[in-house]
Amino acid sequence: MSHGAPRVSILMPTRDQAAYLLDAVDSVIAQDFRDFELLVIDDGSTDASKDLVCSYEDPRIRYVWQSHAGVGAALNRGLTIARAAFVARLDADDVWLPHLLTRLVRVLEGNPSAAFVYARAAGMDASRRPTGDQRGHPPPPADSGYLGLLLGDCTCNIAMVIRRDCLVRVGGYDASLPSCEDWDVVLRLARDDEFVFVDEIVARYRSREGSLSGFQTPHFEAYNSARLAVVARHLSIQDAPSVNAGVAALARRNVAIEVTLRLWAVGRYREAAQSVRAVLASGAPRVAASGRLAWLLFRLIVVNRSVVVQGILARLARWRRSGDGEVGPRVYPAHRDIPNRSA
């Protein structure tokens, strides 16, 4: 371990997560990569979070308190005091697997032109039982990784390492967004820099009532608004790389589909039906849009309630990936470097 700046600064934003906080911190301490600092940024907690964090005698752990300002502001606060060249994030109700930093730091160091690297995370419930879900997927086929990311947030913020200088260069996180600040920042990074996807599970995320991004989150209206705002922003930036009409239509369709699913999940069926009109009016082919919406509704209603069906789909996914043999990290070039983009 170095005696100067650490190699990785870990940002852990938290607010009233005392029930899960020890799990998250312990998973950081258990990393086989040891040269890090952990910055726990408390966004105005009223529970025992401070006492829990300060109970650790590990000098690599620092507790920082701020008045409640939101997750984006908490991340930016951590970024201003981070000392390492690489930055990682772990939310206070999630956990890392022991090899996360070793694996992702090695990949990022091996790809000096990449701004960030991300991998997969497996879902678990509030009691840490596996749910069969995953986050973190390769971008869908498009002319560039940036356009693939614009079609939907396929990254996983807790299974990601970013170069701090790149993150600072794009202005850090947008503190005005109540959520989706991670999707917005990777889009800004991918416009001008390469990024890498590693097809491995390196973390576990907790699906629970009250989380910011779950389908039945009580914050779903703010979450939906943030996703719509991110897409609108990146489709309207005047100096952004060109985005063709087909990609723009698919991006709007995918966000409209997610809004529909979230309305359905919380029982607001009339509004969900109205939201379907936005899906069909997105400009994307209607047959494809209808088919995708039908499949995702089937997953929401049937698959997510059936452990048996979840297990079958998980085995099929593992079999499909194993048929491709060992898959190494996939590098996606910066969007500005892609020749002959369609206007």
pLDDT over 90 (residue 69)? yes
pLDDT attached to residue 218: 57
What is the distance between the alpha carbons of residues 281 and 213, in angstroms, rounded to a whole number? 25
Q: How confident is the model at residue 253 (pLDDT cuts 50, 70, 90)?
A: confident
Contact 255, 294 (CB under 8 A): no
In this predicted structure, what is the pLDDT of residue 343? 36
308 falls in which pLDDT band (50, 70, 90)? very low
Q: How far apart are alpha carbons 121 and 90 in whole angstroms? A: 12
Fold of 8-206: Spore Coat Polysaccharide Biosynthesis Protein SpsA; Chain A (3.90.550)
Structure pTM?
0.84
Please tell me the distance from the alpha carbon of residue 311 to that of residue 168, in angstroms, as a whole number: 41
Q: What is the residue whose two structure tokens read 């701090």?
A: 164
Name residues whose C-beta falls within 8 Å of residue 140's C-beta, 6 or more positions apart in sequence.
148, 151, 152, 154
pLDDT tens digit sequence for 258-272: 777 777 776 777 887
The pLDDT score that the predictor gives to residue 43 is 98
Checking DSSP bridges between strand 95-96 and strand 194-206, what pairing results, if any? Answer: antiparallel
The C-alpha atoms of residue 225 and residue 242 are separated, in whole angstroms, by 24
* Residue whose C-alpha is closest to residue 88's, from 121, 127, 49: 121
Identify the residue whose tokens are 């060249």.
Answer: 85
Q: Which of the residue ranges 75-79, 167-171, 220-224, 236-240 would you say has the lowest mean pLDDT?
A: 236-240
User: Tokens for 331?
Assistant: 């590098």
Each residue of 171-227: pLDDT tens digit? 999 999 988 999 999 999 999 999 999 999 999 999 866 555 555 555 667 887 888
The band of 324, judged by pLDDT with boundaries at 50, 70 and 90, is: very low
Average pLDDT over residues 114-122: 97
Domains of the chain, residue spans: 8-206, 220-308
